[in-house]
Amino acid sequence: MSVSKKVVLVGHYGVGKSSLIRRFVQNIFSDSYQVTIGVHILKKTVSYKGEDITLVLWDIEGKENINQSRASYLLGTSGFIFVIDPTRDTTYQNLKEELIFLEKNYPKVPVIKLVNKSDLINIDEFQKVLAIQNLEIDFFSSAKTGENVENVFMQLVSKMLGA
Amino acid sequence: MIDDIREKLITPKNQVVLLNREGQIIASDNHLFTLTIGSDIAQLDPFFETVSALIVEENQHIPFNCVTIPDSNNKLQYYDIELHTGSADENPFLIIYDFTEHYEYIQGISQEKNELALSNHFEAAKNRQLVAEKAFKNKFLANISHDLRTPLGAILGFVDLLERTGLNYEQQEMIQTIRQTTLHAKGLIDDLLDISKIEAGALKIENKTFDFTDLMTHLEKIYVPKMATKHLAYKMEIDASIPNYLIGDKVRILQILINFLDNAYKFTHHGSITLRIKAGTIADKKMFLLIEVIDTGIGFPGNKAGTRKEIPIDSFTKFHTTEIEGHGLGLSIVKKILDLMHGDMQIDSEEGKGTTISVRIPVTIDDKVNTKKQATVENTYQHVKMSRSYKLLVADDNEINQLLLTKILVKHGGFYIDAADNGREVLEKVTQQDYDLILMDIEMPEMDGIEATIAIKKHPSASTRNTPIIGLSAHELDSNAGSTFNNAGMSGYVPKPYTREQLFQEMYRVLKIELLPQ
Ligand SMILES: Nc1nc2c(ncn2[C@@H]2O[C@H](COP(=O)(O)OP(=O)(O)O)[C@@H](O)[C@H]2O)c(=O)[nH]1
Ligand SMILES: [Mg+2]
């Protein structure tokens, strides 16, 4: 019986949460946009330090604020991935407040801060944008190219298990 | 009845599943999902993976709305799921409601809403970027054209100075080319500045009182000699009923007229160019200046003879840009300025026959200062047909200048040219034969131009005495230089360096072959 961990992807609609999960679990990507409503759960078992870990990935409907999400969706979460879209500044304008909200309501639950759609931007330029706004980011990924997707989840696994 | 309805429509839409504390199925009505007793609920969908962790805590009722579970065809179905964690003597259970229809409807709305929001976002971003890029481009253009004018002005200034430093003929020719090229560049840059101003919305149309007659006189001064050098008849038909004081943008009106007249000059090789200005009807002190520039030039290709018709301004500009020298900015600037003035323009053309550009420029009549003075310019200038040739004597000690002057005169045509190197030689020549005109350099060795003139005016032969003389001098014309020449008996004066136009204008005047009003 493997360990199972609930992971929730949060962030605005359209930032690529569903795409990241689909890329990670099924290794597919589609350019067409299918709006997620409610919640859709997929899982994937990974091995970490010789142990099998089942990641239960909650792909929830994108909201402008996390506290608008249905409380039950976030129950029992072991790790968050906060996804932003670098081509839309509205998706990271209140990133700080969102992180504070998570910190307060889900203390000790690790959060990975992720810039998705890195294929669409010049990463160096965007680093400057982030620096100006004093925002810290853990990863740049692209669900489209697959860049860093695996690493993001593995990093979260190590944070969840290391905690 | 009610039980029937419930049985038929509601019961099949939900399912109750009884679990043990390990999350294994104890009982199920299987209305929606066929579940096997004893199996793990997590096998139904990963959603249920978390259930076993949650049922640890008793007496909880946790609703999960809108949970997506794909059916066996991978079609998304939507359920509301309630988890009751039970207690010591009550098993946990789940109630699953199938709300697929309802949530599909919601999904459709969200899809539309989000797509719209996204496309609005990107449209807005694209627009902002375009606006920013355009503003940057215009600012850059305006700055660079402004900055470019300064060095060009310096080049022109030094060209003038260099020209007076005793250059040889070849160098003089090259200096002329440098001047022409620099002037051309300056024209282009002025146009660029205008364009960038227009694009940036920075070009403002002035509304000030101006003297219409002055404007016409100004044009007359520029174009009478200019057209004559190309043997073109130049007619100005100005409606006498146009009030003298008008409110409008004099500089821009002048720019428009100069543009049209220069174009006509460039594209007309024989015949005439007419500037015709009429007053439109006056209403509430406002009127249109109805302006036509009519040439007998090359016209617009494709409009064969007898098919004179209107040409779209863009194709006319394009034709002039690509087919003929020039940058074609001029007309587009005029068009834009006219738009700003709320005027309009039309081009009619016929290949080989000529072009007529018509514009309407709105102006306001300034009543306060409109005294009785009326603009009455009605002149037709006809370049002399050179019914005979004129015999000229060119006097200059500088061989190069002699050559240059001779070249200009030969190019013009209609002159026999003789040359003298100094005043004494001039005297010898005029004694031997009669000349229609002497072009006399002032600074010459042995006998200068003034001395020679005085001697000629005292000559015993009347025909020699009466030979008109035009003085040419590189000395800056101070206020009494003109009268010095005049006192000596010269009929005219041209300062060096002179343009062809200046020279010929003075020659036509002195020889009285000048452009006579018809
Ligand atoms: N270029 C690019 N497009 C992406 C990427 N990830 C997602 N998308 C596109 O972004 C849109 C929204 O993705 P989706 O996963 O539905 O976002 P969600 O609302 O956060 O679940 C879709 O059209 C995806 O094809 C990425 O890494 N690169
Ligand atoms: Mg989604």
Q: Map residue B351 onto helix, strand or coil.
A: coil
Q: What is the pLDDT of residue B228?
A: 79
Contacts of B43 (CB under 8 A, 6+ apart): none
The model's pTM is 0.55
Residues of B in contact with A79 (CB under 8 A): none
β pairing state of B233-238 and B378-382: antiparallel
- The total of structural domains in chain A comes to 1
Q: Is the pLDDT of residue B452 over 70?
A: yes
- The residue-averaged pLDDT of B177-205 equals 80
* Residue pLDDT, tens place only, B141-184: 777 877 787 778 778 878 877 887 888 888 888 888 888 788 87
Give the C-alpha distances (Å, rounded to integers) separating A6 from A42, A158, B260.
10, 14, 78
CB contact under 8 A, A54 and B107: no
Residue A73's CATH number: 3.40.50.300
Residues of A in contact with B101 (CB under 8 A): none
What is the rounded distance in angstroms from the CA atom of residue A37 to the CA atom of residue B76? 11
A79 CB within 6 A, ligand 1:
no
A33 CB within 6 A, ligand 1:
yes
User: Which of residues B230 and B370 earns the better pLDDT score?
Assistant: B230
Residue A14 Cα to ligand 1 midpoint, Å, equals: 6
A148 CB within 6 A, ligand 1:
no
What is the rounded distance in angstroms from the CA atom of residue A150 to the CA atom of residue B112? 31
Tell me the residues of B at the A interface, defined by beta carbons under 8 Å apart.
Answer: 45-47, 49-50, 53-54, 62-68, 76, 78, 103, 106-107, 110-111, 114-115, 118, 121-122
CA angle, residues B366, B371, B374, in degrees to nearest 5: 90
A17 CB within 6 A, ligand 1:
yes
Structural tokens at position B484? 């010095």
What is the rounded distance in angstroms from the CA atom of residue B379 to the CA atom of residue B215? 14
User: Which of residues B94 and B5 earns the better pLDDT score?
Assistant: B94
* Residue pLDDT, tens place only, B404-448: 788 778 777 788 889 999 999 999 999 999 999 999 988 888 888
* Residue pLDDT, tens place only, B120-133: 888 888 888 888 88
A148 CA: distance to closest CA in chain B (Å): 24
Look up the domain containing A106 and give its range.
3-160
Residue with tokens 């009003």: B517
Average pLDDT along chain A: 93
The answer to whether the beta carbons of residues B414 and B386 sit under 8 Å apart is yes
Q: What is the pLDDT of residue B306?
A: 60
Q: What is the number of alpha carbons within 13 Å of residue B128 lying toward its C-beta?
A: 6
- The residue-averaged pLDDT of B43-61 equals 90
Q: Is the peptide bond before B497 cis (omega within 30 degrees of 0)?
A: yes
A36 CB within 6 A, ligand 1:
yes
* Ramachandran area for residue A8 (φ above 0: left; ψ -120 to 50: alpha; else beta): beta
Counting ligands in written order, the one closest to the CA of A38 is 2
Q: What is the pLDDT of residue B480?
A: 58
- Ligand 1, atom 25, residue with closest C-alpha: A31
Contacts of B233 (CB under 8 A, 6+ apart): B227, B271, B272, B273, B380, B381, B382, B383
* Ramachandran area for residue B111 (φ above 0: left; ψ -120 to 50: alpha; else beta): alpha
* Residue pLDDT, tens place only, B266-285: 889 999 999 999 999 888 88
Q: Map residue B295 onto helix, strand or coil.
A: strand
- Ligand 1, atom 24, residue with closest C-alpha: A31
Which of A6, A34, A37 minimises the CB distance to B50? A6
Pocket test for ligand 1, best of A19, A42, A114 (most atoms within 8 A of CB): A19
Residue A91 Cα to ligand 1 midpoint, Å, equals: 13
What is the rounded distance in angstroms from the CA atom of residue A34 to the CA atom of residue B490? 94
Which of B49, B64, B107 minimises the CB distance to A37? B107
Domains and CATH numbers, chain B: 2-98 (3.30.450.20), 105-200 (1.10.287.130), 208-373 (3.30.565.10), 381-517 (3.40.50.2300)
A119 CB within 6 A, ligand 1:
yes
Which of A33, A36, A88 minimises the CB distance to B121? A88
A5 CA: distance to closest CA in chain B (Å): 9
CB contact under 8 A, B64 and A72: yes
Q: What is the DSSP letter of B86?
A: -
